[in-house]
Amino acid sequence: MTTLAPVRAPILRLLRSELRWIYRRPRTLILLGLLALYPILFGIGTQVVDAPVRANGDQSVVAAVAGNAMMLPVIVLSTTMVFFLPLGTTMTASDALAGEASHGTLRGLLLAPVSRIRLLAVKAFGVAVVSAGAAVMTALIAFVTGLIIAGPDSLVTFSGTTLPLADGLWRVVVATGWVIVQMWAIGAIALAVSAATEHPLLVMASVIGGLFVFGLLSSIPVLDWLHPFLITESWDSIVDVLRDPMPWENLTTGFLRALCYIVIGYSLALARMVTKDS
Amino acid sequence: MTFAETAGVGTADAVPTPVLAARTRGLRKLYRNTVAVDHVDLDVPEGAVLGMLGPNGSGKTTTIRMMLGLTTPTAGEIELFGARLPEAAQSVLPQVGALVEGPGFHPFLSGRENLLRCAAAEPLLKSAAIPAAVSEALERVGLSDAANRRYRGYSLGMKQRMGLAAALLVPRRFVVLDEPTNGLDPAGTREVRAVIADLHKSGTTVLVSSHLLSEVEATCTHVAVLHQGTVVAQGELKDLLEASNAGLLVSTPEVTAAVDALRDNRIPARAVPDGILVDLAATSAPEVVATLVRADIPVYEVHRQRTGLEDLFAQLTETP
Amino acid sequence: MNTKKTALAVAGAGVLAGVVGLGILAVPAGADEPPPVLPSITAEQLVESVANAKIPALNGKVSAQENLGLPIKVLDGMNSATVWADGQNRFRATVPGRTSERTLVEDGGTLWTWDSQKNTVTKHSHGQQATPENLAGKDPATLGKDLLGLVRQYSDVKVDGTARVATRPAYELVVTPKPTERTLLREVRVAVDSETRLPLRLQVLANGQADPALKVEFTELTVGPQDAKLFQFTPPQGATVKERTDAGKPHNEAEGRKGLQDFVSGLNLQTVGDGWDTTFVAKLPGDLNSMLGQARGDGNGKARDMDVTSLLKSFGKEVSGPYGTGYVFSTKVATALVTTDGRVAVGAVPEQVLVEALGQVK
């Protein structure tokens, strides 16, 4: 009988292979394309809508909200974070485990073998990179679009102050980072669901449907005791980066709440991964 | 039931054990309240080509999945190369190639890209060796020409061959093929048999599951027959064939009378197309002939017939 | 198996930690603190010190809640303004909207207001600083005494223990109407910061109500120097700037103000009663229906009258008495009576007191 030493495939190779797989998938690319287009269309749209209003010597609400290089990325992020970014995140997470299981490819990875905990880590990495990449790309395109449309002196906050370019960029970075952490929370929950089923569509339906239900619940005043437990509760506070001085309180609460969701999501995913039959 | 025995194997190198590529003891799997597999004690000797034979639903795939660590057994033990699973998975599974429950690949990637992805996860492959290993595996299963086409457009046979290619990306010590000829045309089936023969020649242990006897008869050195979740027979193919009850084929026009006469004398017999087949387990040929003659049954011809694996299979899995 | 058990244990602990974390985030911090122990103080000393106090440099959050019993929440969306002061009569306040903000900056010579929704700045140069001294023309100590004297005619004023507001220890000053007063109000409580003598919380409590009908309070307060930049304002690029100055007031505005004065005097505004029972009585020009029709800029027919009547009915209660017929609007802190012939009585009193007040006006 020979004694065999455990051998593992290099983790970097696994991560690279995972990313290559994700970014080769047509629907990932379609969604990224839409996300890239959205800020440009949004920026141009505000200008077009605004033109007749400005002709009358007035300013439209849209222009006040999104007509500058500071607000455009934040408003774009705040609108994409309620649907498109969670959609992309959930899509990636649903393909990561449920999708691979339904194609029979999860077996292949487990047989190679990639240990279940390692596999979960690789999948979590893939989901995290996709959501972070999508958010950064969207914010960057929106920031540049805003600068082109309204110029570098247009970084006006809700409070009426005008920020220097570096400050404005810093605010956009904070907003982007914050959105990324929120998306990681969604990704963690989606991966947990993804580990529990072989039907990727079920993951999509339950997570996107769940977010929709959260939205409904948070509008029911009787359930206000429940509201602080909902991940969506602090999503409005992303616009706090547009206030000057910047109130950190709600952003911090939202950040910590997302961290709790991440811990819960990955714990459930881990428990499911080590017990599931593939 | 077999704990003492296995403890001995697990702890001491001093205890002489036959060299086994795989060994299961008391394997049991419950799905909710349904017993899928029970009391499976399977031995796969190293270097053997073991055919796991059983009708659909007999527990072949469940057993294989447990042996590869994909499914957690409800009870029982699994060893691969003498090392316990799932603890030793990381050290033994890299040496095991498998095609379980049909090929699994991504439709939007080409055959080569799919295999590159599989190769990236293979612990025994050096990163630099991956492209060559993939090309070689594609070559081996005859998919080189279709390598850059999307998997989506592959025929059933090509998909099956992709599964085989993935199992053969690395030189393996043990290859597990679950129904490898499913969906293949006769030419494809011959190719798979050639691959198995190649593996056998190079010393690789192979476990092939099939519900087709001809498949097993044609390729295997060993056989294990599963029926309703348990192993009902296992051993070397030739032993099993010899150990199986020989029959006496009696050619006679009065089939019913002959069977009745034998049964009256407690000799089991049954009707077959050319006459009757008598079980010689509890009797001998002269006694059968004497009995028939005493009963005035005309006998044209009598000859011993060794049962084929097909007959054995039918006997073992026949529902009483 | 070991790895699996460890992983499951870690997962279980993780789920627990996450849920507990969410629970901690859900519970508001700093609740249930015992009231602080402070040196005792008389009501006179407290009121005088409040009148003497200067607003220090601070940064805080102010929230207002009402439970007036109106069909619409009048303070909705106003529940979290942030205020800054530099201790030298320069101030900044922001009222956040969901995706907007209104900002007010008093820089010592100019009052700026900014509305991000309208992208509009209003600039009001008043030349000099508006201070309490300027407003009252008296020294604070006298002012405090006079005020207390006035209040004491109709009320009992005392210091009722201590409280903690925005984590700061405070005295609770309670003003209770004398038993002879026929008001709807039970008491008014003001929490005064023990250190800065700044009012930190105002609560108006009505009879028979456990929750304050009106509550304005600091939810957060930090006393200390603030960034000087906060008290400056530069209108942003592209904003509409509207200017107003005390010195060169536009002609038409004076006219406008005169028009308003004419309107008010035309109302024949009178007060009836005193103290907490004070009732304001006025006569609208014309009867109720035509008045409301006018206010809407036209009197086109019955449909409009029907609207007004149904509107009044939905908010108020139809009543009749020695004054004829009319509508009563009741909230927890005040009542208003509008008669069909155009008379109005308003006060922090029950309906009966309004009826009497109407009877006293010829």
- Taking the domains of chain C in order of start, what are their residue ranges? 43-244, 251-360
B119 neighbors B133 (Cβ within 8 angstroms): yes
3-state secondary structure of A209: helix
Subunits touching A (CB < 8 Å, at least 3 pairs)? B, C
Decide the pairing of beta strands B96-99 and B174-178: parallel
For the stretch A25-29, contacts whose Cβ atoms lie closer than 8 Å and that sit 24 or more positions apart, written own/partner, are A25/A95, A25/B108, A26/B108, A27/A91, A28/A88, A28/A91, A28/A92, A28/A130
Distance between A163 CA and the closest CA of chain C, angstroms: 10
User: DSSP 3-state assignment of C176?
Assistant: strand
Chain A contact set for B104 (CB, 8 A): 103-108
Question: Which of C231, C242, C230, C232 is closest to C120 using CA atoms?
Answer: C242
Phi, psi of B50 (to 5 degrees): -95, 125
Closest CA–CA distance from residue A5 to any residue of chain B (Å): 5
pLDDT confidence tier of residue A189, bands split at 50, 70 and 90 = very high
Under an 8 A CB cutoff, do B123 and A110 touch? no
Claim to verify: residue B130 and residue B26 sit in the same structural domain: yes
Cβ contact, residue pair B86, C4, below 8 Å: yes
* Nearest-angstrom CA–CA distance, B74 and B59: 14
Task: Based on the fold, state whether residues B90 and B188 are members of the same structural domain.
Answer: yes
Note the Cα A249 to chain centre separation in Å: 21
d(CA A195, CA A93): 9
CB pairs under 8 A between A and B: 103
Helix/strand/coil (H, E, C) string of B59-121? CHHHHHHHHCCCCCCCEEEEEECCEECCCCHHHHHHHEEEECCCCCCCCCCEHHHHHHHHHHH
Domain stops at, among B242, B266, B286: B242
C1 contacts B87? CB cut-off 8 A: yes
> C46-60, C139-153, C161-175, C232-246: which range is least confident on average?
C139-153
Over 80: is that where the pLDDT of C253 sits?
Answer: no
Q: What is the pLDDT of residue C135?
A: 47
| Both structure tokens of B17 | 């054990």
Same domain, B65 and B172: yes
User: Is the minimum CB–CB distance between C22 and chain A shorter than 8 Å?
Assistant: yes
Distance, first Cα to last Cα, chain B: 27
Q: C43-244: which CATH topology?
A: outer membrane lipoprotein receptor (LolB), chain A (2.50.20)
* Burial of C295 per CB tally in 10 Å (0-12, 13-18, 19+): exposed
Which candidate from C21, C118, C233 shows the least CB-CB separation from A256?
C21
- List phi, psi (to 5°) of B83: -110, 140
Alpha-carbon distance of A191 to A176, in angstroms, equals 22
pLDDT band at residue B4 under the 50/70/90 scheme: very low
Look at residue C42 in the predicted model and tell me its pLDDT.
85
- Looking at residue C299, its pLDDT comes to 42
Contact flag B68-A20 (C-beta cutoff 8 Å): no
A98 interfacial to chain B (CB closer than 8 Å):
no
C-alpha–C-alpha distance, residues A186 and A92, integer Å: 11
Question: Do residues B221 and B199 lie in contact, with contact meaning Cβ atoms separated by under 8 Å?
Answer: no
Structure tokens that stand for C68 in this block? 């007036």
SS3 content of chain A, % helix, strand, coil (to 5): 80, 0, 20
Domain extent at residue B249:
245-317
Segment A118-145 shows an average pLDDT of 95
Strands B49-53 and B222-227: parallel
Let me know if A249 is exposed, middle or buried by CB neighbors in 10 A (0-12, 13-18, 19+).
exposed
- Contact B87/C2, CB-based, under 8 Å? yes
Are residue B167 and residue B64 in the same domain, yes or no? yes
Q: Which of B92, B102, B120 sits opposite A9 (nearest CB)?
A: B120
Percent of chain C past pLDDT 70, that is, above it, reads: 77
Burial class of residue C219, CB neighbours in 10 A (0-12, 13-18, 19+)? middle
User: Nearest-CA neighbor of C279 among C361, C216, C203, C342?
Assistant: C361
Closest residue of chain B to A2, computed from CA coordinates: B81
Distances (CA, A) of A80 to A56, A140, B33, C203: 32, 14, 47, 42
By C-alpha distance, which of B100, B104, B116, B124 is closest to A106?
A: B104
The reported pLDDT for the residue numbered C136 is: 45
Supply the mean pLDDT for chain A. Answer: 89
Backbone region of residue B319 per phi and psi (left: phi > 0; alpha: psi in -120 to 50; beta: other values): beta
From the list A120, A130, A259, the residue with the least C-alpha distance to A192 is A120
ipTM > 0.90 for the complex: no
For residue C318, the model assigns a pLDDT of 80
Distance between CA A165 and CA C44 in Å, rounded?
Answer: 54
Q: How far is C25 from chain A (nearest CA, A)?
A: 7
| Beta strands at C270-272 and C279-283: parallel, antiparallel or unpaired | antiparallel
Token pair belonging to B189:
């089936």
Residue C10 confidence (pLDDT): 93
φ/ψ of residue A4, rounded to 5:
-110, 140
All partners of chain B with 3 or more CB pairs under 8 angstroms:
A, C
Res C29 pLDDT > 70: no
Size of interface B-C (CB pairs under 8 A): 5
Q: What is the DSSP string of A111-124?
A: HTT--HHHHHHHHH
**Test the B interface: residue of A2, A3, A4 with most B CBs within 10 Å:** A4
Strand order in the sheet with C324-330: C270-272, C279-283, C343-347, C335-339, C324-330, C317-321
Tell me which residue of C281, C337, C332, C331 sits closest to C312, measured CA to CA: C337
C-alpha to C-alpha distance for C344 and C103, rounded to whole angstroms: 36
Question: How many Cα atoms are found within 13 Å in the side-chain-facing hemisphere of A59?
Answer: 21
On the question of pLDDT at C2 being above 70, the answer is yes
Is residue A253 very low, low, confident or very high in pLDDT (cuts 50, 70, 90)? very high
Residue B63 · residue B226 · CB < 8 Å? yes
Q: How far apart are CA A238 and CA B219, in angstroms?
A: 66
For residue C7, give how far its alpha carbon lies from the nearest alpha carbon of chain B (Å): 14
At residue C169's C-alpha, the angle toward residues C168 and C171, to 5°, is 130
**Phi and psi torsions of B81, nearest 5°:** 50, 40
Q: Identify which has the larger pLDDT, B297 or A65.
A: B297
Amino acid at B121: A
Do both B183 and B234 map to the same domain?
A: yes
Picking from B206, B222, B242, the residue at the C-terminal end of a domain is: B242
DSSP state at residue B170: S
Point out the domain boundary residue: B207, B224, B242. B242
pLDDT tens profile A53-93? 655 555 555 555 556 778 889 989 999 999 999 999 999 99
Mean pLDDT of B122-128: 92
Task: In whole angstroms, give the CA distance from residue B100 to residue B208.
Answer: 10
How many domains is chain B partitioned into structurally?
Answer: 2
Q: Which chains touch C (3 or more CB pairs under 8 A)?
A: A, B
% of residues, chain B, pLDDT over 70: 88
Nearest-angstrom CA–CA distance, A243 and C92: 13
Nearest to C350 by CA among C113, C168, C183, C180: C183
Q: Over 90: is that where the pLDDT of C11 sits? A: yes
Of A7, A16, A20, the CB nearest to B123: A7
Digit-coded pLDDT (tens) for C349-362: 888 888 888 887 75
Mark whether B210 and B269 lie in a shared domain.
no
CA distance B203 to B217: 19
Sort C357 into a burial class: Cβ within 10 Å, 0-12 / 13-18 / 19+.
buried
E strands in chain C: 57-66, 81-86, 91-96, 101-106, 110-115, 120-125, 155-165, 168-177, 185-193, 199-206, 214-223, 240-245, 270-272, 279-283, 317-321, 324-330, 335-339, 343-347
Average pLDDT over residues C2-9: 88
CA-nearest residue to C3 within chain B is B87
Q: What is the Rg, in whole angstroms, of the alpha carbon atoms belonging to chain B?
A: 24
Q: Is A263 on the interface with C (CB under 8 A)?
A: yes
CA angle C231, C233, C234 (to 5 degrees): 155
Nearest to A156 among C94, C118, C237 (CB): C237
Tell me whether residues A247 and C82 touch, CB distance under 8 A. Answer: yes
Number of Cβ within 10 Å of residue C164's Cβ equals 15
Of C323, A10, C26, A205, the C-alpha closest to B128 is: A10
- Asked if A160 lies within 8 A of C240 by C-beta distance, the reply is no
- Tens digits of residue pLDDT in A213-238: 999 998 888 888 888 899 998 898 89
Question: In terms of DSSP bridges, do strands C81-86 and C57-66 run parallel, antiparallel, or are they unpaired?
Answer: antiparallel
Dist CA B129 CA B284 (whole Å): 64
CATH at residue B237: 3.40.50.300
Tokens of B225: 């027959």
**pLDDT average, residue stretch C291-311:** 53
Q: Is the same domain home to B19 and B117?
A: yes
Contact C14 A58 (CB under 8 A): no
C147 and chain A: CB distance < 8 Å anywhere?
Answer: no
Q: Please name the helix (run of DSSP H) or strand (run of DSSP E) that holds residue B37, with its range, or none.
A: strand B34-45
Look over chain B and give the mean of its residue pLDDT values, rounded to a whole number.
84
Q: Where are the alpha helices (DSSP H) in chain C?
A: 2-26, 43-52, 132-136, 140-154, 251-266, 288-295, 302-315, 351-360
Q: What are phi and psi of B100, to 5 degrees?
A: -115, 135
CB proximity under 8 Å: A 14-73 to C: 58-59, 61, 63-65, 67
The nearest CA of chain C is from the CA of A66 a distance in Å of: 11
Per-residue confidence band for C181, with pLDDT thresholds at 50, 70 and 90: confident
Nearest Cα residue to A10 out of C213, C6, B124, B206: B124
How many angstroms away from the CA of C9 is the closest CA of chain B?
A: 18
State CA B88 to chain mean position distance.
Answer: 24
Inter-chain touch A103–B17, beta carbons under 8 Å:
no
